[in-house]
Amino acid sequence: MAKPRSPLQRWLTRRIGYPLEAVLVLGVCRLFRALPLDRASALGGWIGRTVGPWLPNSARARRNLTRAFPEKGSAEIEAIVRGMWDNLGRTIAEYPHLEQIGRERVEVVGAEHVDRLREDGKAGIIVTGHLANWEVQPVAARLHGLEVGVVYRAPNNPIVGELLLKLRGVALGTQIPKGPDGARMLLRHLTRGGHVGMLIDQKMNDGIPVPFFGRDAMTAPAAAVLGIKLNLPLCPTRTERLDGARFRLTVLPPEEYPTSGDRNADARILMERLNRLLEDWIRDKPAQWLWIHRRWPD
């Protein structure tokens, strides 16, 4: 367990660390905005795969990969780690260009399901994970006529959080923070007929244990609970990076809800199904998922 920081360390972080970090983030965003999309994406990928494997988080990625793919050798694991950092670097560099990506660089498979979500007169839920550039989904949906609110985790640095809200807000629209206030905002958004996108692949300490790559992972059940409670269509959606800053968005038909009559049991069954689906997508292209997450309790 990490040693708690002293009051002085916390003060230094707030007064010095956070502003310096914000200046760095702002400078990086301005650099990538000044470059054409393909050059920005390529530069971000180069920085990611050059620097990322040496960062401390890569040790967690290697550990997670070794446990998820015990059949893979060290060379394969290292290649996936480099590919993961390349993808993450590109994703960061592509933030200022999300509108262009949505207009020009996304092919949509299953667009009929987007049309149905838009036209059925009901709220709806889209579930996905941190795959490829996950920010592409709500942009592409909006350009297809479907406004999708996004549930997000606020950064620890509130100054960076404000910068990212402004940067993402232009392209993504309604943004709903995690936490008690965000939960109430999410419920209001859905009961008023809105649509929401939810990432279901991050550890949630007070979630439910659901198998993921052969081990229980604490999983947020909110998507399943709300979908079942409000009887809303829930569509799993996958983003794949095809080549550079080009993407394929695959929208699956709404999930069939379990009907045992026990909502908690039904929600667990649905989350198990969604985790299996997400695992299949990750196994197909493991370098496009964020292995640096603390996804499992150990």
pLDDT digits (tens, 9 = 90+) for 195-217: 999 999 988 888 899 999 999 99
pLDDT of residue 198: 92
Q: What is the CB neighbour count within 10 angstroms for residue 48?
A: 23
User: At residue 163, does pLDDT exceed 80?
Assistant: no
Q: What is the DSSP letter of 134?
A: T
User: At residue 15, does pLDDT exceed 70?
Assistant: no
Q: What is the CB neighbour count within 10 angstroms for residue 147?
A: 14
pLDDT tens digits, one per residue of 95-153: 889 999 999 999 999 999 999 999 999 999 999 999 999 999 999 998 889 999 888 77
Of the pLDDT bands very low, low, confident and very high (cuts 50, 70, 90), residue 13 is low
User: At residue 172, does pLDDT exceed 60?
Assistant: no
Helix (H, G, I), strand (E, B) or coil at 169: helix
More confident residue, 215 or 15: 215
User: Which residues are bridge partners to 176 per DSSP?
Assistant: 151
pTM of the model: 0.90
Closest to 28 measured CA to CA, from 93, 94, 87, 101: 93
Closest to 110 measured CA to CA, from 295, 259, 250, 265: 250
Q: Report, in this order, helix, strand and coil percent for the chain, each rounded to 5.
A: 55, 20, 25
Residue with tokens 């795969």: 49
pLDDT of residue 154: 65
pLDDT of residue 24: 72
Q: Tell me the average pLDDT across 167-196.
A: 79
What residues contact residue 264 under an 8 Å CB cut-off, 6+ apart? Answer: none
Rounded Cα distance, 158 and 175, in Å: 15
Burial of 206 (0-12, 13-18, 19+ CB in 10 A): exposed
